[in-house]
Amino acid sequence: MKLIKNAAGRLVPLEANGLKQISFKGVNQYKPSGLKAKPPIRSCIDYPLDGNKVVKNLKEALSKSGLNDGMTISTHHHLRNGDALTNLLFDTIKRMGIKNLRWFPSASFPVHEHLIKYLEDGTIHHIEGSMNGPLGKFASEGKMRGTGVLRSHGGRYQAVQDGEVHIDIAVIASPTADEFGNANGVTGKSACGLLGFALADSEYADRVIVVTDNLVPFPCVPWQIQGNNVDFVVEVASLGDPTKIVSGTTEVTKSPDRLLIAEYVADFIEAAGIMKNGFSLQAGAGGTNLAFVLSLKEKMKANGIKARFMRGGSTKYLVEMLEEGLTDYILDGQTFDLEGVRSMRENPDHVNTSPFTSYNFHGKGNFASMVDVAVLGATEVDINFNANVVTHSDGYLLHGIGGWQNCLYSKCTILAIPSFRDRIPVIVDEVTTLCGPGELIDVIITERGIAINPLRKDLIKAVKKSSLPIKTIQEIKEEVDEICGGIPTKPKLDKDKVVAIVKWVDGTLLDSVFKVIS
């Protein structure tokens, strides 16, 4: 496979899965031109005039959609690890004898380990979407037929819009839907909050199948997915396991070290002057993130500060802030717990969003760059503030990008991470896989100190007089190397075998994931 060095100095292939690739040119250096992709013209007279698009089962919907070898099938991940539909979908496809599909999920979860047998037998050719857990391991060991493609949530919308990925059939798990195809995620036994990740699919796919376990008479209100984009509706007994769709147990970390990191994050946001009336923030899930929200909440209360909006991944902690009047709005990308679902259903100030509003590179602007501070995680950060979220230091692909790349555009991007995990340094010389260019990453907050990107002279100045433990990233790295007993050996990778490519938000190739030699 021919590889070239891109503008970030990383080796990337010229083509993947038979498609020509454009290498990363630098942040904000590449803008595709021309017209956006477009779905085929449909006419209402081809659909039942009574609006009833219900067909017998998934197989019939797939057949009527013209399912064929080599097609692209999309799914969304709002049901997270409780998703039963995707597995059912590929069981059905397998029985239909279809081969060589491109699976285009917005993310995958450990529950999708079930699909490994279809990757092995060629039902699925390759995955374009996050590969978490077992699927990541499968791909890392070079067992997938095609090359995996990793995109951010915004990058997925961009790829659909600029025609890089054409979806043949979108299958949209919908906790509530009517027979016309209007659908939402806030009601029904499998309620997951919202369906924003399926929005592009519903608008751009050739055929759209809505699958629900709660079919209601028209109209299904609210409708985040519009029935006017939907071809077929299928009713199934169950979309999945509700206890795993929303865990209901998203809890703050109890680890004193993670709590210390969370406290430093809140202290930093206050000391840097970011926490002021009308500010905005993005918080993800994960124990440390929840904890920082709680610390910040105390500070906001003590100082009489109110935010204009908060972006989630919503949890009960963000909901409490909304209900206690500490923020005017929650602009929510996905809902992590039952309180988040309830709030979205009941409170008009808890607003559903989508990658289009939040992250899309081909939008006329997006929310991500308007956020005052985003607090994110990472698996590795290097001394130039470049960060990795998809592979671990052992080279294995274990996480997706999610909205992480998109959020780097916030006015202040903070990575809140431990400086090492067990014996594995998180602050390294060079990241195993580059997912985020250092120029967009402003602050690294660890339990051993806070490193501010030298490019952000304003932030350095703002916290100069604080009592925060400000260090250089090099200092933190040296301390960690000493604790861990020296610089770890790099994983053994087969540089001739690219198992996955990492796209930047604009669709260019930022880095490659290589096969792990085990």
Partner 1 sequence: MKKIIRSSAGKRGETIRSDCYIELEIKSSGGIKIDINSKVKSMYGDSIFNFIKDMCRFFGIKHASILIEDSGALPFTLAARFELAVKRIFPEREKEFLLPFNKNNLYKTKKDRLRRSRLYLPGDEPKFFINAGLHSPDGIILDLEDSVAPSEKDAAQILVRNALRSVDFYGAERMVRINQLPKGLEDLKFVVPHNVHVILIPKCESASQVIETEEEIEHLKKAHKIKNEIFIMPILESALGIIKAYEIASASKNICALAIGLEDYTADIGTQRTLEGRESFFARSMLINAAKAAGVQAIDTVFSDVSDMEGLRQSVVEAKALGFEGKGCIHPRQIKIVHEAFSPNEEEIEKAKKIVLAFEEAEKKGLGVVSLGSKMIDPPVVKRALRTIELAVINNKILDNWRNEL
Binding site for partner 1 (CB under 8 A): 256-257, 259-260, 393-395, 421-424, 447-448, 467, 482-486, 488-489, 491-492
Residues with Cβ within 8 Å of 346's Cβ and at least 6 positions away in sequence, in order, are none
Q: Which is nearer to partner 1, 241 or 263 (CB)?
A: 263
Q: Which is nearer to partner 1, 248 or 491 (CB)?
A: 491
Cβ atoms 484, 423 nearer than 8 A: yes
CA-CA distance, 147 to 131, in Å (whole number)? 12
Q: Which is nearer to partner 1, 418 or 436 (CB)?
A: 418
Cβ atoms 470, 463 nearer than 8 A: yes
Number of H helices and E strands in the chain, helices first, is 15, 31
The conformation of residue 385, written as its DSSP 8-state character, comes to: S
The burial class, CB within 10 Å (0-12 / 13-18 / 19+), for 347 is middle
Q: Which is nearer to partner 1, 257 or 320 (CB)?
A: 257
Max Cα–Cα distance, the chain, nearest Å? 72
Selection from 149, 103, 150 nearest residue 122 by Cα = 103
- Minimum CB distance to partner 1, residue 485 (Å): 4
CA-CA distance, 85 to 183, in Å (whole number)? 16
DSSP labels, 452-517: E-TT-HHHHHHTTTS-S-EE-HHHHHHHHHHHHTSPPPPP-EEEEEEEEEEE-TTS-EEEEEEEE-
- Minimum CB distance to partner 1, residue 480 (Å): 11
Q: Which two tokens stand for residue 96?
A: 């239909």
Half-sphere exposure in the Cβ direction for 393 (13 Å, CA): 20
Q: Which is nearer to partner 1, 424 or 455 (CB)?
A: 424
Q: Which two tokens stand for residue 511?
A: 């880095």
CA-CA distance, 450 to 249, in Å (whole number)? 30
Q: Which is nearer to partner 1, 355 or 395 (CB)?
A: 395
| 3-state DSSP of 19-49 | EECCECCCCCCCCCCCCCCCCCCCCHHHCCC
- Minimum CB distance to partner 1, residue 469 (Å): 9
- Minimum CB distance to partner 1, residue 242 (Å): 27
Q: Which is nearer to partner 1, 323 or 394 (CB)?
A: 394
- Minimum CB distance to partner 1, residue 257 (Å): 5
Q: Which is nearer to partner 1, 224 or 433 (CB)?
A: 433
CA-CA distance, 515 to 499, in Å (whole number)? 6
CA-CA distance, 183 to 282, in Å (whole number)? 27
Q: Which is nearer to partner 1, 346 or 422 (CB)?
A: 422
- Minimum CB distance to partner 1, residue 468 (Å): 12
CA-CA distance, 385 to 369, in Å (whole number)? 19
Q: Which is nearer to partner 1, 6 or 419 (CB)?
A: 419
Q: Which is nearer to partner 1, 222 or 488 (CB)?
A: 488
The conformation of residue 248, written as its DSSP 8-state character, comes to: S
- Minimum CB distance to partner 1, residue 420 (Å): 9
Pairing of strands 207-212, 232-235: parallel
